[in-house]
Amino acid sequence: MGERLELYERAVQQPVAEVAFLERAYRHHGKTKVQPVTLREDYAGTCAVAAAWGRSHPQREAVAVEKHGPTLRWAARHHGDLDGLHPVHADVLAFHGPRVDAIAALNFSVFIWHDRPTLLRYFRHARRCLRDGGVFVMDAFGGAVTLGTQRRPADGFEYLWEQRAFNAATNRIDCRIHFELPDGRRIGDAFRYDWRLWSPAELTETLAEAGFTEPTVWADDGKGRYRPTRKLPGDESWVVYVSAGR
């Protein structure tokens, strides 16, 4: 488990960039010019974003909510030197805790919810856990769905992203992550995902129904900077952020 999580953190996550975007989204939606201090990372996994948040400023603290005990214990050991990180073993729908300035649900985590009532329930719960003026941020991917495996180098090893099956009638997609290591080992199906691909329109509409203000879709402008957009191509794949204010 530990090796897979470390490889995932090195190959997939960009926590410093995620923290920078959270700050930007907070300024976009916030009712105050005061910098955000507290973060809650839902579906925290390796807790990489929460840890990067805690390291970004001496006054910052982050709660990392993860229901898989072994993963959370690994993350707590991995980031154990950080006083501002507070790992919590809980289901995100059951944990309340203190209200925070920002909530992050990244790595396509909301795709685990396959029906709209549960998605709406989570959004309403997240809104209740935010302070006034707070921001909620998630990411999503979509567009043209191509089955197969993409390969790219990642910090001394090979990262493989596989889209194995897709049902357009339900928008359910079966995705896998594999790793190939320099010693010749292959870690197949290191991570498996049974997701529902929610469109940006569905996400923003459900956020609005949950009571959030100004749901916003952010797309890469081609120069690595995400900007608010109202238009996405249908004939190519894309990754976006979706944010909303309380």
User: pLDDT digits over 178-224, tens only?
Assistant: 999 999 999 999 999 999 999 999 999 999 999 999 999 999 998 88
Residue indicated by tokens 């959004």:
123
Residue type, 199: S
Q: 221 with 130, same domain?
A: yes
Q: 52 with 71, same domain?
A: yes
Helices 69-78 & 2-11 angle (0-180, nearest 10): 70
Q: How many domains does the chain have?
A: 2
- The model carries a pTM of 0.96
Q: What is the DSSP letter of 111?
A: G
Q: 128 with 179, same domain?
A: no
- Relative to beta strand 148-154, strand 157-167 is antiparallel
Q: 158 with 72, same domain?
A: no
Q: 50 with 106, same domain?
A: yes
The widest CA-to-CA distance across the chain, in whole angstroms, is 53
| CB 174, CB 166: distance < 8 Å | yes
**Domain extent at residue 180:** 148-195
Q: 19 with 116, same domain?
A: yes
Q: 110 with 86, same domain?
A: yes
For residue 78, give the CATH number of its domain.
3.40.50.150
> What is the pLDDT at residue 86?
96
Q: List CB contacts of 95: < 8 A, sequence separation 6 or more.
A: 65, 88
pLDDT in tens, 57-76: 999 999 999 999 999 999 99
Sheet of 85-89, strand order:
85-89, 61-66, 38-41, 100-105, 130-143, 237-245, 213-220, 226-229
Distance CA 246, CA 236 (A): 32
Exposure of 22 by Cβ count < 10 A (0-12 exposed, 13-18 middle, 19+ buried)?
buried
> What is the pLDDT at residue 31?
67
Q: 153 with 202, same domain?
A: no
Q: 64 with 176, same domain?
A: no
Q: With b meaning 16 or more CB within 10 Å and e meaning fewer, what string describes 38-58? A: bbbbbbbbbbbbbbbbbbbee
Q: 131 with 153, same domain?
A: no
| CB 157, CB 182: distance < 8 Å | yes
Q: 27 with 7, same domain?
A: yes
pLDDT-flagged residues of the chain (< 50): none
The length of the chain is: 246
Q: 98 with 110, same domain?
A: yes
Q: Is 240 helix (H, G, I), strand (E, B) or coil?
A: strand
